[in-house]
Amino acid sequence: MNIPSLLEIPENKVFKFSSANYNEEKNECVLLFLYSNNNKPTDEQKQSLIKNLQNLTENLCSLKVKFKQSYIDKEVALNLLNEFFQHNLPILLNNFTLNDITLEVSDEINISISCSENQKNIIYDNNNLNELQNFIQSNFFEPVNIVFNTEKQDKKLSEEDYQDINANTDLMKCLEKEQEINVVSVADVEILIGKEITKPPVFIEDIGLDEKEEVSVAGFLTNFLETDFIPKSSKEKGETTTKKKISFTITDTTGSIDIIAFPNDKNLEIYRTLEDNQQVLVNGFVNVFGNRKSLRINALSKCNILTLERQFVWRKEKPNYLCVKPEPMHDLVQMDLFSKQKNENSNFWNENHSVVVFDFETTGLNADNCQIIEIGAVKVENGVCVETFSTLVNPNCAIPEEIEKITGISTDMIAFAPTIDLVLPDFYKFTKDSVLSAYNIGFDIKFLQNAGKKLRYNFNNKQIDTLELARNKIPSLHNYKLSTVVKALDIVLEDAHRALNDAVATAKVFIKLI
């Protein structure tokens, strides 16, 4: 039904198409049209439009046509905008109110939105702007123009900020801070170096990148090393006097950290008594080199660790997508459900399961020190790609030059992208109750689970490695790079090393090989 063409008929220009709702059970379509308060249609014009619509449908369905008078009203327009942001982009409301919207009404509705550059980018991302324009235009007969004033400064969201966002969105319940059940606890403390350590020990993964922050950690000692070095001041004076440096590693259930000490003669003998796997309590100051953290020791004690196992209260799936929304994907490639070559994964292909094929671009290869900068994912149901999930992610650090060369993602590109704490809840919702697959999933899943652990989202989904599928199903290839596999399967991969493109190609590999 070509409604826009129909409305080009002169007698029908008093109407503006607003919406269409089709009831499949009743085979009934309800069309809503707006008309201006300044140009009310006659009954003859209404009947003429209905007749033309019935001719277009050719009795394919039962047709109902409704008409609604449209008023230009500032208060109504503001309330509609507020309604849109409440239901579609509530994450913006923490630093965004109706006072930031200016309306001018004449023959057109001109809307000026005062927001930060980051908020503007969130509105522009994932088709949000089109949805906003369509939402407004479907409620008013007059043309609607939207402009953005981006002089406003960003406000960094905190846990407390989330609680201020409109309660009707359930965001507070979804992102509220859960308490950890267990903390690090020690007993039988015996002082070896320095004074009594009164600062409670923290989990190693919770140590931040703040230089000179004082922290205490408890764990198992390994990699003890004693070395000689010439201090910089001595070198400058031409002296060759050496001093001692002690280093070792402390490991708990969440990670490891290097400990560094520069002992005097008395302390050196005490350090030499330390043994591998000994339980110790250390207090020191954080040093950061690159993304690698270490502690310069202040005090050291022997101890017995009573509790070193972290237990989480995992967050639950939130009801709505708030930052990144999935987009529908129309794909013609289907899995042969009647193939004789079945495998152990064939049980995943039933009406109760779906697969999310995903790919990350990151600042480096080490999931413990590097960050996610882009997420791309494809949802596969019954052998068909049905939805995509895609976003850049701001890692709060510069993109390394070598990563920019590989991916094409620059520091400028991610400057106004949402951070992982805003993106991950939506990705959790997208992947909930789905099997996870990736090309060499061991790499990507570690980044995902590390991020999930920090934000209390438990990505414990079943997993399938598409790389292993390729090795098993196509044993004759000279290598198993994604570019080689897609070429062998006659799949197009454009702009490789961008997350969504790689994820789409991997999904098509998955569909052909499963």
Tell me, yes or no, whether 317 lies in a domain: no
DSSP string, 331-379: ------TT-S---TTGGG-STT--EEEEEEEESSS-TTT--EEEEEEEE
Chain segment 84-103, per-residue pLDDT in tens: 776 666 555 555 666 788 87
Cβ atoms of 502 and 496 within 8 Å: the answer is yes
Are residues 462 and 333 both part of a single domain?
yes
- The residue among 142, 175, 208 that closes a domain is 175
Are residues 99 and 33 both part of a single domain?
no
pTM for the predicted model, two decimal places: 0.49
Tell me, yes or no, whether 315 lies in a domain: no
How confident is residue 104, by pLDDT bands cut at 50, 70 and 90?
confident
How confident is residue 34, by pLDDT bands cut at 50, 70 and 90?
confident
| pLDDT (0 to 100) of residue 439 | 95
Q: Which residues contact 430 (CB under 8 A, 6 or more apart)?
A: 321, 326, 356, 377, 379, 387, 389
Are residues 294 and 366 both part of a single domain?
no
Are residues 149 and 31 both part of a single domain?
no
DSSP string, 461-501: --EEEHHHHHHHH-TT-S---HHHHHHHTT----STTSHHH
pLDDT tops 50 at residue 333: no
| pLDDT (0 to 100) of residue 171 | 37
Residue 422, token pair as written in the block: 């805003």
Task: Report how far residue 374's alpha carbon sits from residue 395's, in angstroms, rounded to the nearest whole number.
Answer: 9
Chain segment 162-206, per-residue pLDDT in tens: 444 333 334 333 334 344 445 688 899 999 999 999 998 988 888
Q: Which residues contact 157 (CB under 8 A, 6 or more apart)?
A: 91, 94, 421, 422
Tell me, yes or no, whether 316 lies in a domain: no
- The residue among 70, 99, 124 that closes a domain is 70
| pLDDT (0 to 100) of residue 100 | 80
| pLDDT (0 to 100) of residue 83 | 66
Chain segment 416-445, per-residue pLDDT in tens: 788 898 899 999 999 998 999 999 999 999
Amino acid at 138: S
**Length, in residues, of the chain:** 514
| pLDDT (0 to 100) of residue 341 | 39
pLDDT tops 80 at residue 77: no
- The residue among 307, 342, 370 that closes a domain is 307
Domain count of the fold of the chain: 4
Are residues 198 and 263 both part of a single domain?
yes
Are residues 196 and 297 both part of a single domain?
yes
Chain segment 105-145, per-residue pLDDT in tens: 777 778 888 877 777 776 776 566 777 777 777 777 777 78
**CATH at 53:** 3.30.300.20
**CATH at 420:** 3.30.420.10
Are residues 37 and 94 both part of a single domain?
no
Are residues 441 and 477 both part of a single domain?
yes
- Distances in Å between the alpha carbon of 400 and those of 50, 366, 411? 61, 14, 8
Residue 330, token pair as written in the block: 């129309």
Task: Report how far residue 248's alpha carbon sits from residue 226's, in angstroms, rounded to the nearest whole number.
Answer: 9
How confident is residue 222, by pLDDT bands cut at 50, 70 and 90?
very high
Tell me, yes or no, whether 322 lies in a domain: no
| Residues forming the active site | 497
Residue 165's domain comprises 74-175
pLDDT tops 90 at residue 312: no
Tell me, yes or no, whether 220 lies in a domain: yes
Tell me, yes or no, whether 180 lies in a domain: no
Are residues 476 and 495 both part of a single domain?
yes
Tell me, yes or no, whether 314 lies in a domain: no
- Average pLDDT estimate for 287-293: 79
Most trustworthy range by pLDDT among 164-178, 208-222, 260-274: 260-274
Residue 262, token pair as written in the block: 């520069």
Least Cα distance to 77 among 143, 123, 21 occurs for 143
Are residues 302 and 333 both part of a single domain?
no
Are residues 50 and 79 both part of a single domain?
no
Are residues 339 and 224 both part of a single domain?
no
